[in-house]
A and B are shown apart, each in its own frame.
Chain A
Amino acid sequence: MYSNKNTDNIIEIQGLSKRYRGQFALNNVDITVPVGVTGLLGPNGSGKSTFIKTILGLVRAEKGHGTVLGMAWPRLVKKLRDKIGYLPEDDCYILGLQGVECVQMMARLSGLPTTEALRRAHEVLDFCDVGQERYRNVETYSTGMRQKLKFAQALVHDPQMIILDEPTTGLDPTQREEFLDRIHDLAHRFEKSILLSTHILHDVQHVCDQVIILVRGEVRLCDTLENLQRPTQSGVRISVIHDGLRFAESLRRDGYDVQCDSDQELRINVKGSQSLQSIWAASKRESVLIQRMDEARNSLEASFIEIVSEKKHAHT
């Protein structure tokens, strides 16, 4: 098993630019992707897919240089593809081939010998939970099955880095959780570095260690998920059984800054002299049962919207 523990960053690229018909899809981007699972976020048309395709050399960058997995990029981009597994966003398959043949072909394209490619194809199809359907032609697969097949194709050559572009699209909730568990497993047990491009923030929160937000071809944020979710001011998040609004009113009268997310969910900013004891006292006084009390965290969704709208305002 190889490890990328001794390199801190899997991608280090400076000055990356790409234009389509005069419009910048990527505008002088300096990007650093550390080892681990990285979420690549951004609104539609922000340049996520262009960035991924540029890394793989599928789209030629106008400017930019750096290293990917310690190899000179873009000079060695073809060699790099042996070390990268790519799950494309598009629904893509080879007409007429069975699932297992498709995965075997991808392994052979990555240089595995024919027999070994077939053995490996069965192994990763088992891992991706593709059962006997592997013997069916791929054009008969459901969307969810195709996602699993694409994942198997991305893994079959045991890449060091895996790029997943919208991987959970078309999966039912159970399959999605299982899929995210597999990503987690690959990252933490097998030390794969994963770049996950998605619109589903829940997926990012579930598996990612760090987040990069691209807006209009520029990197707006690159930070760890922990930092991003760290509260800007100390506070607590409270779940109550009922009468949350009445309880909020009572706390406001005591001088607390309270925000109600719903009748059961409250966020309370705790200032210097205020204490949690007085919140418990207020609940006893108002006969409101507190079900749970946690440290308040920023939501990823709120941060994402804030960053994206900041940029919009800047442009307008």
Chain B
Amino acid sequence: MPILDLGYRPWTGARSGEWWRWSVVARTGISLVWRGTWVKRILLFATIPALITMFGVGVFEQGTRDESYRIAFNRFLMERNREMGPRGRMSEVKELIVDPSSQRHFGWSNMLLWYFRYPQAFWIVVIIGLVAPRLISYDLRSRGYLLYLSRPLSPAGYVFGKACILFFLLAMITTIPALAIYAGGLLLSNDYGSLLQTWDLPFRILLATAVLVLPTSAVALAFSSLTQESRFAAFAWFATWVVGWVTYLVLTGSAMLNESDVNELHRRWLLISPYHVLGHLQQEIFGLIPEQEHMIGPWIVSGLATVIGFYVAHWRVARMLKV
């Protein structure tokens, strides 16, 4: 018997409100995830693109004062917008070459979109694939959900708590670095006018994060809730991205060989690939798509993925409670 064993003792004290109990699920999950060496490594690697983007913003700002610095970002913007074909904004790029400070919003948005679209989309897929498959499937295997739900916590609160673990990790590699890039840009600009020109970018960053985080978390949690074997959930997660991406490339690539309209092909096959759907939405959010290219389809697909994903996860957890 422990020397300090005092036997059973009643406890009286103030309890926290019921509405915040989901935060215990989130905090416990985050502390568990944080023990993983690979997660910490990925979070570290994921800061490298942010530093590169920050450097890019620095070069841009230097270019507003010194013409010799413009070559680097001019080439970057020309290539980025040429790749987009009719969706590119070449007129703004040409204006920017003449006077970068007048096109600061366009320049920064392009760099932030690059940051979200390429390196961070990759890290998001990797980190969710590493963390999310275990979140619910482990609890289903060990029946841990019974422990959570025997306390004042609903299945919805449980799923939300689990989703917050992903929100936290994804915010660490998208929102926080992107806001840091923006703040860095303001500090490097040496021009009070830059705040007036780009005041909306933090809101666009938050919206872009939400568009990225909500459907991906929902789908990943749904996969996790459908099996007790986390490896199956991980397989389904990576397969969704790879199959969608490859199919899109094959369908658009083979048609391009026949010299079809690239933009038409993009519109036709966009919804097949989650990567391209999210990319299109981010382009819209950062205002880098011409009016005539706006599409409702990606918004609907993204919304449906969010709703169905969370519904499936909730339904599976609630269903497990049946005797």
Which residue numbers of A lie inside 8 Å of B, CB to CB? 1-2, 20, 25, 49-50, 53, 56, 58-59, 78-79, 81-82, 84, 86, 88, 90-97, 101-102, 105-106, 108-113, 116, 120, 123-124, 126-127, 129, 131, 139, 153, 155, 157-158, 182, 185-186, 189-190
* B150 touching A97, Cβ below 8 Å: no
B contact residues vs A (CB 8 Å cutoff): 1-2, 4-13, 15-18, 21, 24-25, 28, 32, 35, 134, 138-139, 141-154, 321-323
**What is the number of contacts between chain A and chain B, taking CB atoms within 8 Å?**
122
Residue of B nearest to A158 (CB): B11
Residue of B nearest to A138 (CB): B142
From B6, B141, B151, contact of A109 by CB (8 A): B151
Subset of 24 A-B contacts with CB under 8 Å: A20-B322, A25-B323, A58-B146, A58-B150, A81-B150, A81-B151, A91-B143, A92-B144, A92-B147, A94-B139, A94-B142, A94-B144, A95-B139, A96-B32, A97-B32, A101-B28, A102-B147, A106-B151, A109-B153, A112-B13, A123-B9, A127-B7, A182-B8, A185-B7
Contacts of B148 in A (CB 8 A): 109
Are A111 and B15 in touch, CB under 8 angstroms? yes
Q: Which residues of A contact B145 (CB under 8 A)?
A: 92
CB-CB under 8 A from B32, the residues of chain A are: 96-97
* A4 nearest CB across to chain B (Å): 13
What is the distance, in angstroms, from A252's C-beta to the closest C-beta of chain B? Answer: 50
Q: Is B21 a contact of A124 with CB atoms below 8 Å?
A: no
Q: Are B18 and A20 in contact (CB under 8 A)?
A: no
Q: How far is the CA of A153 from the CA of B144 in the complex (A)?
A: 12
**A94 close to B147 (CB less than 8 A):** yes
> With a CB–CB cut-off of 8 A, which chain A residues contact B151?
81-82, 106, 109-110
State whether A92 touches B5 (Cβ < 8 A). Answer: no
* Contact, CB under 8 Å: A92 / B154: no
Q: Which residues of B contact A49 (CB under 8 A)?
A: 323
In the assembled complex, which residues on chain A have CB atoms less than 8 Å from the CB atom of B141? 95
Check B147–A58 contact: CB distance below 8 A.
no
How many Å lie between the Cα of A96 and that of B13 in the bound state?
A: 29
A78 to B21, CA, bound (A): 12
Q: Which of A53, A101, A182 contacts B323 (CB 8 A)?
A: A53
Please report the C-alpha to C-alpha distance between residue A96 and residue B10 in the assembled complex, in whole angstroms.
29
Contact A109 B146 (CB under 8 A): no
Which B residues are in CB contact (< 8 Å) with A102?
147
A88 and B8 within 8 A (CB): no
Complex interface: chain A residues within 8 A of B12 (CB): 158
CB–CB B28/A97 < 8 A:
yes
Contact among B6, B139, B144, B153 for A126, CB-based, below 8 A: B6
Which of B15, B18, B144 is A93 in contact with, Cβ under 8 Å?
B144
On whether the beta carbons of A153 and B149 are closer than 8 Å, the reply is: no
Give min CB distance, A114 to chain B, whole Å. 9
**Contact check: which of B16, B134, B150 meets A86 at CB < 8 Å?**
B150
B323 partner residues in chain A, CB cutoff 8 A: 20, 25, 49-50, 53, 59
Complex-state Cα separation, A300 to B114, whole angstroms: 75
Q: Beyond the given A112-B13, A112-B15, A123-B9, could you list 5 further A-B residue pairs with CB under 8 A, ordered by the A residue number?
A: A78-B18, A88-B143, A110-B151, A129-B1, A139-B142
Q: Flag if A93 contacts B142 (CB, 8 Å).
A: yes
Q: Within the assembled complex, what's the spacing in Å between the Cα atoms of A202 and B116?
A: 65
Within 8 Å CB of A139, what residues of B?
142
A153 and B10 form a contact (CB under 8 A): no
A145 to B201, CA, bound (A): 55
Q: Once bound together, how far apart are the Cα atoms of A80 and B37, in whole Å?
A: 40
Inter-chain CA distance A20–B8, complex, in Å, is: 39
In the complex, the chain B residue whose C-beta lies closest to that of A114 is B27
In the complex, chain A residues whose CB is within 8 Å of the CB of B18: 78-79, 111
B143/A92 in contact, CB under 8 A: yes
Which of chain A's residues have a CB closer than 8 A to the CB of B143? 88, 90-93
Q: Which residues on the A side are within 8 Å of B142 (C-beta)?
A: 91-95, 139
Q: A78-B18, A90-B143, A111-B16 are in contact. Are A126 and B11 (CB under 8 A)?
A: no
Expressed in whole angstroms, the Cα–Cα distance for A182 and B8 within the complex equals 9
CA distance A94 to B11 in the complex (A): 25
- CB-defined contacts of A116 to chain B, threshold 8 Å: 13
When the two chains form their complex, are residues B149 and A58 in contact, meaning their CB atoms are under 8 A apart?
Answer: yes
Chain B positions within 8 Å of A109 at CB level? 21, 24-25, 148, 151-153
Tell me the complex Cα distance, A137–B13, Å: 29
Q: A111: which B residues are within 8 A, CB to CB?
A: 15-18, 21, 152
Residues from chain B with Cβ under 8 Å of A105 in the complex: 24, 28
Q: Which residues of B contact A112 (CB under 8 A)?
A: 11, 13, 15-16
CB distance from A186 to the nearest CB of B (A): 6
> A93-B142, A97-B32, A112-B13 known; A153 and B147 CB under 8 Å?
yes
List A contacts of B149 (CB < 8 A): 58
Contacts of A113 in B (CB 8 A): 13, 16
A57→B224 CA distance, assembly (Å): 24
A117 to B148 Cα, complex, angstroms: 15
Whether B11 contacts A120 by the Cβ 8 Å rule is: yes
| Distance (whole angstroms) from the CB of A127 to the closest CB of chain B | 5
**Is A94 in contact with B13, judged by CB distance below 8 angstroms?**
no
Bound CA–CA A25/B322 (angstroms): 11
- Across the interface, which residues of B come within 8 angstroms of A189, CB to CB? 8
A69 and B136 alpha carbons, distance in the complex (Å): 32
Q: What are the residues of chain B within 8 A of A81 when measuring CB–CB?
A: 150-152
CB distance from B113 to the nearest CB of A (A): 37
Say whether, besides A59-B321, A88-B150, A158 and B10 are in contact (CB < 8 Å). yes
Find out whether the CB atom of B147 lies under 8 angstroms from the CB atom of A185: no
CA distance in complex: A2, B8 (Å)? 14
Residue of A nearest to B10 (CB): A1
CA distance A120 to B15 in the complex (A): 13
